[in-house]
Amino acid sequence: MQIKVRVVTNAKKERVLKVREHLSRESETTRDNSYQYKVYVSAPPEKGRANERLISLLSTYFKIRKNSISIISGLKSKEKIVEILS
Domains of the chain (ranges; CATH) run 2-84 (3.30.1200.10)
Q: Which helix (H) or strand (E) holds 6?
A: strand 2-8
Question: What DSSP designation does 44 have?
Answer: -
Q: Enumerate the H helices of the chain as residue ranges.
A: 25-30, 49-62
AA identity, residue 70:
S
Region 2-25: what's the mean pLDDT? 85
**What is the pLDDT, as a whole number, of residue 29?**
45
25-80 pLDDT, tens per residue? 555 544 455 569 999 999 999 999 999 999 999 999 999 999 999 999 999 999 99
Beta bridge partners of 39: 7, 16
First to last CA, the chain: 8
pLDDT band at 86 (very low <50, low <70, confident <90, very high): confident
